[in-house]
Amino acid sequence: MLNDMKTLWLSLAAITAAMLAQGADMKVPFEKYKLKNGMRVILSQDNSVPVVAVYMIYDVGSRSEEKGRTGFAHLFEHMMFQGSANAPKGTHFQTVEANGGSLNGSTHPDFTDYYEVLPSNKLAVGLWLESDRMRSLAITDANLTNQKEAVKEERRLSFDNRPYNTAIIDTWPQLAFQNWQSSHSLIGSYEDLNAASVDDVAKFFKTYYAPNNAILSICGDIKIPEAKKWIETYFGDIPSQPQPKRPDLTEPEKFTPRTEVYKDAMARVPAVIMGWPGPPRRSPDFNALLMADVLFTAGESSRFQQNLVKGKQSVLNYEANLGWPFASGADYKAPALYAMNMLYNPRFTAKDIVAQVDEEIAKLQKAPVDKAELDRARIFLRASRIKELQSSLTRATLLAQYEMFDGNPGLITSELDTFLAVTPEQIQAAVKKYLVPDKRSVLEIAPAPKEKK
């Protein structure tokens, strides 16, 4: 039986490897065009399931904020659900959910996004809701006051009263970046939220929530001619605005490695965050570091899983990515980091964990990865992408993000071939260039007793 099972496993592995080696056959069809008011539209038809995803992304995030106005991007994510001229407060949620759909929004350093997933015969409902709040958001004293308190409560419950989160959101960016645009808190300060006026918020809305600063991506069971008519009906007459001025995100040329300790009264297990300034998006080094991350951290056969979690039993859990903690390879925008967060066994110290990670990095710097290990990483990456693309919402999201960051939605499939083509020598060279101690920031998160009142 064991020999039969081994033969079967080897046969399946060979079939899987052959299947995953074919990169160019994975396609996501789409059509891209622009309305007269400057709003970009991407349509991807897939009639296999009667579901449609409506995804709206605005080119504004926390790195667009001004000093004294931190948290505006996140505040606006909340404001966008407070009603509009024809969809009063509560209508957006009630309408989507009553039609069997789901919805949400999220704030990032470089964009803010919103989505509805609906039965495909309710596409017009999602488009009407999105267009009405773009056209006529209800910016009132009552709504602003209400959402200021909602954001404060979210901060208290989701960050200040949970382990690690305040260190990650507030302290880590200040340690890893020197330019204020990247180093300030994504959530913002209570002081700035309290100071925000209706005029401030109205100005922010007019500047950034204009059609020419947005991309609408629709994926799923649609008829493209019909979808175009609805899009023109609902969005076509919304006026454009002057294109927003983009902030200077440049980091100082000289990088000073820094280490800091954050005492976290909520934490029960210590953690350490490590990060290095990353390469420009879409550069050969970007592609190589993404593959290095797959080798280090992706799946059960990854080096960290085998050597640190199972081998040394020093690391309990980890997460890492180009752009961590606020981005991934898909929405990475320089200046950004390759960073990782390691929760570790208290029998070890933060210095032990840093040394062990350095040891794993050094192995890849000294000797190129062998073909068998790299092939496993390639299979893992391709399988992960195939699984991701089964979701209409993921396809809509990626199409819009690749348009925003690269002007090329086709990267949703073609970028995989670029990653799979990265050589062992390119990975080794990138790791030597970027993942070195004199370019590294380290934040130790140490459990601490709660202060007595």
Mean pLDDT estimate for the chain: 92
Last residue of a domain, one of 235, 267, 299: 235
Cis omega (within 30 of 0) for bond into 325: yes
- 197 and 265 both lie in a single domain: no
- 309 and 214 both lie in a single domain: no
If one counts the domains in the chain, the total is: 2
The domain in which residue 151 lies consists of 31-235
- 302 and 386 both lie in a single domain: yes
- 294 and 162 both lie in a single domain: no
- 417 and 315 both lie in a single domain: yes
> pLDDT band at residue 10, thresholds of 50, 70 and 90?
very low
Q: For residue 363, give the CATH number of its domain.
A: 3.30.830.10
Task: Determine, yes or no, domain membership for 383.
Answer: yes
Res 2 pLDDT > 60: no
What integer pLDDT is reported at residue 452 of this predicted model?
A: 59
Task: Determine, yes or no, domain membership for 240.
Answer: no
What pLDDT, in 10s, does the model give residues 388-412?
Answer: 999 999 999 999 999 999 999 999 9
- 223 and 269 both lie in a single domain: no
> pLDDT band at residue 453, thresholds of 50, 70 and 90?
low
> pLDDT band at residue 451, thresholds of 50, 70 and 90?
low
Backbone angles phi, psi at 313, to 5 degrees: 55, 40
Q: What value does the mean pLDDT take over residues 348-377?
A: 97
Q: What value does the mean pLDDT take over residues 94-115?
A: 96
What integer pLDDT is reported at residue 188 of this predicted model?
A: 85
Last residue of a domain, one of 202, 235, 268: 235
- 228 and 271 both lie in a single domain: no
Task: Determine, yes or no, domain membership for 110.
Answer: yes
Task: Determine, yes or no, domain membership for 277.
Answer: yes
What pLDDT, in 10s, does the model give residues 296-349?
Answer: 999 999 999 999 999 999 999 999 999 999 999 999 999 999 999 999 999 999
What pLDDT, in 10s, does the model give residues 234-280?
Answer: 999 999 999 999 999 999 988 888 999 999 999 999 999 999 999 99
What would the 3-class secondary structure string for the chain be? Answer: CHHHHHHHHHHHHHHHHHHHCCCCCCCCCCEEEECCCCCEEEEEECCCCCEEEEEEEECCCHHHCCCCCCCHHHHHHHHCCCCECCCCCCHHHHHHHHCCCEEEEEECCCCEEEEEEEEHHHHHHHHHHHHHHHHHECCCHHHHHHHHHHHHHHHHHHHHCCCCHHHHHHHHHHHHCCCHHHHCCCCCCHHHHHHCCHHHHHHHHHHHCCHHHEEEEEEECCCHHHHHHHHHHHHCCCCCCCCCCCCCCCCCCCCCCCEEEEEECCCCCCEEEEEEECCCCCCHHHHHHHHHHHHHHCCCCCHHHHHHHHHCCCEEEEEEEECCCCCCCCCCCCCCEEEEEEEECCCCCHHHHHHHHHHHHHHHHHCCCCHHHHHHHHHHHHHHHHHHCCCHHHHHHHHHHHHHHHCCCCHHHHHHHHHHCCCHHHHHHHHHHHCCHHHCEEEEEEECCCCCC
- 229 and 276 both lie in a single domain: no
Task: Give percent of the chain above pLDDT 90.
Answer: 84
> pLDDT band at residue 8, thresholds of 50, 70 and 90?
very low
Last residue of a domain, one of 219, 235, 251: 235
What integer pLDDT is reported at residue 26 of this predicted model?
A: 74
Q: What value does the mean pLDDT take over residues 78-103?
A: 95
Task: Determine, yes or no, domain membership for 343.
Answer: yes
CA end-to-end span of the chain:
65
- 65 and 154 both lie in a single domain: yes
> pLDDT band at residue 281, thresholds of 50, 70 and 90?
very high
- 216 and 319 both lie in a single domain: no
- 83 and 184 both lie in a single domain: yes
Task: Give percent of the chain above pLDDT 70.
Answer: 94
Task: Determine, yes or no, domain membership for 418.
Answer: yes
Res 216 pLDDT > 90: yes
What integer pLDDT is reported at residue 19 of this predicted model?
A: 42
What integer pLDDT is reported at residue 253 of this predicted model?
A: 86
- Measured CA to CA, the distance from residue 105 to residue 154 in angstroms comes to 14
Task: Determine, yes or no, domain membership for 226.
Answer: yes
Task: Determine, yes or no, domain membership for 355.
Answer: yes
- 286 and 172 both lie in a single domain: no
> pLDDT band at residue 424, thresholds of 50, 70 and 90?
very high
What integer pLDDT is reported at residue 18 of this predicted model?
A: 47
What pLDDT, in 10s, does the model give residues 60-75?
Answer: 999 999 999 899 999 9
What integer pLDDT is reported at residue 64 of this predicted model?
A: 96
